[in-house]
A and B are shown apart, each in its own frame.
Chain A
Amino acid sequence: MKKIMKININDKDFNVQESVTVQGLIDVLKLDIKSTAVAVNKEIISKNSYTEFRLKENDKVDLVSIAPGG
């Protein structure tokens, strides 16, 4: 059985598969990769490393996109 871990995404707690990659998270959440940027513990993750970068327990993840603004 796969282990799960708790991470924080955009200020909300989520249970995800242990050691999930950033790419894995994007896939699970069905996000459009072109319009999504990712920071983990305030460090910006380059798109090139989404498939290698593995998340750890209690990581704080920011998933960002565009929003209305002036």
Chain B
Amino acid sequence: MDDDASNNNGLMDDGLKIGKYTFKSRLIVGTGKYPDFQTMKDSAVASGAEIITVAVRRIDFNAKDNMLSYIDLDRFTLLPNTAGCYTAEDAVNTLRLTRELGVFRTDLVKLEVIGDAKTLYPDNEELLKAAKILVKEGFTVMPYMMDDPVLAKKLEDVGCPVVMPLASPIGSGLGIRNPYNIKIIKETVSVPVIVDAGVGTASDACKTMELGVDGILINTAIAGANNPVGMAVAMERAVKAGRLAYLSGRIPMKLYAQASTQMEGIVF
């Protein structure tokens, strides 16, 4: 799809706003689960994403390759996550560490506080607790949350400039299990909504964007595809197509046919 074509039709996309930051791309991609760093890099570039998520971990002194040598810090904004943290305290401390890491050039952080190992569903109370602390400490907090409109409002109220409800469990590829909740969240909060987790393929990404959400965060669906770079391109197009379809306004659904060819002038 051509950005210029959509701009020419008065449907200029003003970009994804997260707190004081604005990004052109509405797709954020993860860096986990790739077969190798080169594929990770090629996929991130192909996706057109400007933000890529990373974890914060102890240095592996036996590692053969250095992830950072594959990341152009002038091109990508690194978004640290708190994957694997089960308490507010652990998540907050993990993100405090990022302040000492020069590779993070913004105060954007992806906050996740896991409540259950099997579903990787977030722990609502701990998430809210951690969000409050981190906002006070000056972080721009992007919380990964359940598709719960009440919680979304609470997170907005404590100062999160974006909310990130899941579509379905992390890595499941099930797509949006509750599109109505995502729509209600979008109507409930005034901050942007980024759907994080569960998107399985390009049609999921497109349908998600058609709901009117502001962005999508995808990792497994790209990294786990047979051809990650190809899927990254597909996702980039799907996100743009879904956004443009949303802005353009879809036709209402009707039960019966409505002829698209005029009847006037019919010969037989």
Q: Which residues of A contact B (CB under 8 A)?
A: 10-11, 29, 31-39, 42, 44-47, 62-70
Contacts and interface: CB of A to CB of B under 8 A. Distances in A.
Given A66-B78, A68-B32, A68-B34, A36 B54 contact: no
Given A69-B32, A70-B30, A10 B59 contact: yes
Interface residues of B, dominant DSSP: mixed
A63 B197 CA distance: 29
Given A66-B68, A68-B54, A69-B30, A47 B100 contact: yes
Contact of A65 (B32, B57, B219): B57
Given A36-B59, A69-B30, A44 B102 contact: no
A37 B58 CA distance: 9
Interface of B: 30-34, 40, 53-59, 61, 67-68, 78, 80-81, 83, 93, 96-103, 170-171, 197, 217, 219-220
Contacts, number: 92
Given A35-B68, A44-B93, A66 B55 contact: yes
Given A64-B59, A67-B57, A44 B96 contact: yes
Given A35-B68, A44-B93, A67 B101 contact: no
A64 B100 CA distance: 10
Contacts of B55: 66-69
